[in-house]
Amino acid sequence: MRSKRKGKLGLLIGALLMASGVVAAGVIVWNSSDTGGIVKANEAIQTGDVLRYDVVGQRDGAPVSGTVMITYLSVSEDRSAMAIRTEYNGEMEYWVVHALVTQLFDPYGKCIGSQWMDTSHGDRFVKRLIDYFPRTENGSGVFRNAYVGVESEIAYMINVSGPGYHMKAELTDSTVEGMYRWDKREVTVRAEWDVVGDGPTMYSLGPGAVDGGPLMLQQEGDIRITCNGNDSALFFMTEDNLNSMDHGAPFEFDAELSIPDGKGTRQGILAPGLYYVICANLNDTSFTSFEYEVDLR
């Protein structure tokens, strides 16, 4: 379940702060050489393509809205690198937009299902990806639900939940050729959760690393969770937490089984269903570890 992004944010140029109602812009360069591997760009995207997303949400109970436009300035011939301009306006701080945009131009996460969705391009068959983004510029993590076309790999909708706020971005317009024919057929999508069995599962995290993912429990069991790092955060989420954030709630987790402030142990009883466990090592110099052990009943 190790969490590895397909690409890495290499260079960010432009405004880093944005006052309400002021348009800001930046250029993000994403290159496979950052990861030492070959990263294939989305086959649907061509140089010059534009995606427009309308954003609505709330922060501390107050409504927030805006728009995000992504312009693909260049796509290399071998599709291993892209240069992207992001423009945004409305009542959104830069760090909120960053959490959105990194998922809009490069949808990422563990797949937990698929469905038909009513979009601006008509009914489309999408897969649902879930992902924890450990740090934004204000230091907090966010949880993201993404609905991505099974053929186009373009995000039709993203829900981002952070401390005290929630943002929903929906694709409202695009210049991508072929959008009228993609994602119009139902295909088999493999779920990317781990089926939980008896016994312990342990993870070791290097400086700044994040690990974990979705778990499927097929029968009731007792769980014991231990986190061994002082400067770390472990969040355990139920299916209700996941769906609540997907429908407008700020960042939430199971308080009884989570360890948000470092070392500790939690235990409880789990009913069959989908869960999500994630641990972030917020220390830049040392390792940490966490483990969970399930005793099926």
Amino acid at 119: T
Which residue, 64, 238, 59, 246, is CA-closest to 158?
246
- What tokens were used for 293? 């052990």
Length in residues, the chain: 297
CATH topology for 194-296 is Jelly Rolls (2.60.120)
Measured distance CA(285)–CA(135) in Å, rounded: 16
Is the pLDDT confidence value at 159 over 90? yes
The torsion region of residue 276 among left (phi > 0), alpha (psi -120 to 50) and beta comes to beta
Output the six-digit token pair for 246: 């997907």
Cα distance between residue 290 and residue 80, in whole Å: 35
Give residue 138's pLDDT. 47
Q: Which of 97-101, 116-120, 198-202 has the highest mean pLDDT?
A: 116-120
- Comparing 12-16, 124-128, 224-228, 292-296, the range with the smallest average pLDDT is 12-16
Q: Answer yes or no: same fold for 9-174 and 194-296.
A: no
Amino acid code (one letter) for 151: E
Selection from 234, 110, 124 nearest residue 176 by Cα? 124
Residue 231 · residue 283 · CB < 8 Å = yes
pLDDT of residue 15: 29
Two tokens at 101?
Answer: 């945009």
Q: Which residue would you say has higher pLDDT here, 5 or 155?
A: 155
Break the chain into its structural domains and give their ranges: 9-174, 194-296
Q: Which tokens hold the place of 32?
A: 């496979």
- For 288, list phi and psi in degrees, rounded to 5: -145, 170
* Mean pLDDT estimate for the chain: 80
Which tokens is 248 given? 């407008």
Q: Quick check: 268 pLDDT over 90?
A: yes
Task: State phi, psi for 142 to the nearest 5 degrees.
Answer: -135, 155
Stated as kind and residue range, the H or E segment containing 279 is: strand 273-281
Residue type, 282: L
pLDDT recorded at residue 238: 96
- Does the structure show a pLDDT above 50 at 170? yes
| pLDDT score recorded for residue 252 | 94
Can you say whether the dihedral through the CA atoms of 90, 92, 95, 100 is positive or negative?
negative
How far, in Å, CA of 48 to CA of 46, rounded?
6
Residue 56: both structure tokens together = 């609505």
What is the CATH code for 9-174? 2.40.360
Please check whether residue 126 is in contact with residue 156, taking contact to mean a CB–CB distance below 8 angstroms: yes
What tens digit of pLDDT does each residue of 41-96 get? 566 788 888 999 999 998 888 898 888 888 888 777 766 666 777 777 777 766 66
**Mean pLDDT across 23-39:** 41
